[in-house]
Amino acid sequence: MNARTRYGSGAPGAAEIAAAGPGALIDRDGQVQWAELLTGPGTAYWVAAEGLTGWEELPGLESSDANRPAGHGGWPGTQWAQPRTVTAQLWLAPDPDGGSEAALDALRTLRAATGIRDEEEWLAVRLHGETLAVRARVTQRVVPTDRQFLAGRLAKVTIQWKAMDPRRYESVARRVTMGLPRREPGLTWPLTWPLSWGAPGSVGEVTVDNSGSAPAHPLITFTGPCVGPRLANHDSGTWLEYDLSLSLGDVLEVDTAEGSVLFNETSSRRHTAVVGSVPEELFTLAPGASRLSFRAASGDVELASATVAWRSAEW
């Protein structure tokens, strides 16, 4: 999944990214948006009584559990979620006044939206005011060509998607930026009453919130000038640090979901990670609040920054 696709674009420092995200066409509960195809109430594709399966269910699990060789039970191991499979039952229900032309238009639109593709697209669902989305691909489409479809232009369609990342993400991507710590100016001499300690300095820390139930992988962007950029998660005890210098205008983008570290969007710098820096894929935001801090061996406190973008994630 491309980082720009997952988190969109926006000015650093914005609390939220306002660019259109997954489910931008959805305007009511019960609607499902696949890429640019909107289904559900108010469309030519009604959600059938069976609705969706695989959406609110937990995905399948891989486990490293081991049975005790000489005793009851076993030892619990690590659990990893498998890809998520989502199946929708839809009624292809074009405008009855449109005749065969409306039926054919609706069918062609469905074909175009559910073709075979290599790239994943957003599949978004709104339930009770909450829109969640996964990146997925169509793996099956069934349109019965029976007498009902020919005579009444109604067909009960089945569409199936497979999401390699089983987590469901909130539709709004969040983004915060922090600078390097600044010293407080302290007292100004000669002293006058009341005493003024000056404006407080920046501590180079932010608290981010993953409001979901699953760990979220952030996109981290270090901007120079600085040497040895480092981002630490104080709640998990993990940190990322790279032994390189970023000049003015240089950007180091760390995609923790893909495990990539790109310098100025071109060359990999993953090999510059210092000893003790965790593998990028293991740097996650657990459900709840996480306190993050930006540090560097040296840098410009006015210009150097670290930006963190993420979407809250649900199982």
Cα–Cα distance list, 242 to 86, 182, 195, 289 (Å): 39, 21, 42, 25
pLDDT of residue 182: 73
pLDDT band of residue 14 (cuts 50, 70, 90) is: very low
Within 10 Å of residue 19's Cβ, how many Cβ atoms?
12
Phi, psi values for residue 131, rounded to 5°: -110, 120
Mean pLDDT of 232-238: 95
Instruction: Evaluate if residue 311 carries a pLDDT over 70.
Output: yes
pLDDT of residue 102: 84
Name residue 55's amino acid: W
How far is 77 from 89, CA to CA, in rounded Å? 36
What confidence tens digit (pLDDT) does each residue in 65-95 have? 999 999 999 999 999 999 999 999 999 887 7
Residue pair 245/227 in contact (Cβ under 8 Å)? The answer is: yes
How far is 145 from 175, CA to CA, in rounded Å? 48
Q: Classify burial at 246, counting beta carbons within 10 Å of its beta carbon; exposed 0-12, middle 13-18, buried 19 or more.
A: buried
How far is 134 from 162, CA to CA, in rounded Å? 9
- Domains assigned to the chain: 22-56+80-167 (2.40.30.200), 174-185+193-314 (2.60.120.860)
Q: Give one DSSP letter per residue of 116-137, joined into a string.
A: --SS-EEEEEEETTEEEEEEEE
Helix (H) or strand (E) holding 150: helix 147-152
Residue pair 16/118 in contact (Cβ under 8 Å)? The answer is: no
Instruction: Evaluate if residue 202 carries a pLDDT over 80.
Output: no
Mean pLDDT for all residues in the chain: 88
Instruction: Evaluate if residue 198 carries a pLDDT over 60.
Output: no
> What is the 8-class DSSP label of residue 235?
T
What confidence tens digit (pLDDT) does each residue in 243-281 have? 999 999 999 999 999 999 999 999 999 999 999 999 999
How far is 266 from 264, CA to CA, in rounded Å? 6
What confidence tens digit (pLDDT) does each residue in 174-185 have? 999 999 987 655
Instruction: Evaluate if residue 314 carries a pLDDT over 70.
Output: yes
How far is 83 from 193, CA to CA, in rounded Å? 65
pLDDT band of residue 199 (cuts 50, 70, 90) is: very low
Residue pair 155/148 in contact (Cβ under 8 Å)? The answer is: yes
Length of the chain: 315
What confidence tens digit (pLDDT) does each residue in 125-163 have? 999 999 999 999 999 999 988 777 777 678 889 999 999
pTM: 0.85
